[in-house]
Amino acid sequence: PRSLRAHAAAAGLLVGCAVNPRGLDGEPAYSQTVADQMNLLVAENAMKWGPLRPTIDTFDFRPADDIMDFAARHNQQVRGHNLCWHEELPTWFASEVNKGNAKEILIQHIQTVAGRYAGRIQSWDVVNEAILPKDGRPDGLRKSPWLELLGPDYIDIAFHTARMADPHAMLTYNDYGIEKDTPEDTIKRGDVLMLIRRMKARGVPLDAVGIQSHLTAGDPMPGAGLRAFVRECGRLGLQVFVTEMDVNDKKLPAAVEERDQAVAKVYQDYLTMMLAEPNVTAVLTWGVTDKYTWLDGPKFGRADGRPERPLPFDSDYQPTPAFFAERAAL
Ligand code: XIL
């Protein structure tokens, strides 16, 4: 078996990537690579609040529907991302949503979106990135618009509503910055664990934890702390998904070969560690080709302005060392 999906299937795993409907519909090399290599897709943006809801009472489901159709045609499962997040909210959100209507709007949104795709979603990221220790709260919760509007209850509301809207989807809590053994990641990981333990104790329907895994070559590698966290998730009955892996090469010198080797080593070491845990059942990269990565640009990209090479295929859709490392780890 040569493809990622063939390797994954043989190991009983899901392997996938974030996709954009424009690539799937309009660029043959893109759609071919996604079809050949992946058995699990997630919309990079199309299922987020902003893109889905141009106005408070209209939904634009076309791009998300396109992804669902593509996946069905190619025998692929789909993750939903996401139902509740502090970012990529629609422009009308700040002016139209208030303490009086926020609960109703959140519930109605989840019923509408999760309901539309019910029975066809492998897992939903119900709440994304709710923890931010540096906001200073004892419970570690981020001071997001949802927290300001509804208090900490918004998380339970979102999960209960999602379960009712789609009883077949695994319900996931997804977050970043919990991978490494650094003090910052260790504190955040502890707060995430506290959150999910309390959710389980309250009977909130939570089935899985998503570890985004946006890693940077040259940073300390994830290790014992994350392994212990994954095992603790297992004891709580939770699966763990690597949901958004990519490896930023901005700390590496310009030479492409050197960058590719270092990036591949991170894929190899990280995925080997994670997939040794039986409750880690899915791996997704945040994109498929270096041609389209959210890391390019001033915010996360390289100081020398060169394009990043964080993904398993290069910008000509040729497999990179990261591809072979990922495949070997599956
Ligand atoms: C990113 C997308 O890749 C960008 O195209 C978009 O402009 C911003 O969001 N964590 C997440 C993802 O959960 O939804 C983010 O995706 C990347 C970080």
Distance CA 180, CA 202 (A): 29
User: Counting beta carbons within 10 angstroms of the beta carbon of residue 202, is it exposed (0 to 12), middle (13 to 18) or buried (19 or more)?
Assistant: exposed
Distance CA 316, CA 319 (A): 9
Q: What is the pLDDT of residues 16-31, one digit of tens each?
A: 999 998 889 899 999 9
The CB of 3 under 6 Å from ligand 1? The reply is no
Q: What is the pLDDT of residues 52-111, one digit of tens each?
A: 999 999 999 999 999 999 999 999 999 999 999 999 999 999 999 999 999 999 999 999
Q: What is the pLDDT of residues 192-233, one digit of tens each?
A: 999 999 999 999 999 999 999 999 999 999 999 999 999 999
Cβ–Cβ contacts within 10 Å for residue 124, how many? 31
pLDDT score, position 136: 98
Distance CA 140, CA 138 (A): 5
- Coil, strand or helix: which one is 264? helix
pLDDT score, position 25: 86
Q: Report phi then psi at 145, rounded to 5.
A: -55, -40
Ligand 1 geometric centre to CA of 195 (Å): 23
The CB of 44 under 6 Å from ligand 1? The reply is yes
Q: Which residue type, as a one-letter code, is found at position 233?
A: C
Residue 1 has pLDDT above 70, yes or no: no
pTM given for the model: 0.98
Out of 44, 179, 244, 326, pick the active-site residue: 244
Distance CA 223, CA 306 (A): 30
Concerning whether 129 is annotated as a catalytic residue, the answer is yes
Q: Report phi then psi at 42, rounded to 5.
A: -140, 145
Token pair of 83 as six digits:
């139902």
Segment 175-199 mean pLDDT: 98
DSSP string of 121-160? -SEEEEEES-B-GGG--TT-B---HHHHHHGGGHHHHHHH
In the chain, what are the domain boundaries? Answer: 4-329
Place of tokens 């071919």: 32
CA-based nearest residue to 84, from 172, 20, 167, 19: 172
Segment 236-257 mean pLDDT: 98
Segment 290-297 mean pLDDT: 97
Q: What is the pLDDT of residues 115-155, one digit of tens each?
A: 999 999 999 999 999 999 999 999 999 999 999 999 999 99
Which residues make beta-bridge pairs with 131?
A: 141
ipTM: 0.99
For residue 56, give the DSSP letter. Answer: T
Q: Report phi then psi at 158, rounded to 5.
A: -60, -45
Ligand 1 geometric centre to CA of 81 (Å): 10
pLDDT band at 37 (very low <50, low <70, confident <90, very high): very high
pLDDT score, position 23: 87
Distance CA 242, CA 284 (A): 6
Concerning whether 244 is annotated as a catalytic residue, the answer is yes
CA-based nearest residue to 291, from 20, 6, 3: 20
The fold of the 4-329 domain, in CATH, is TIM Barrel (3.20.20)
pLDDT score, position 22: 86
pLDDT band at 329 (very low <50, low <70, confident <90, very high): very high
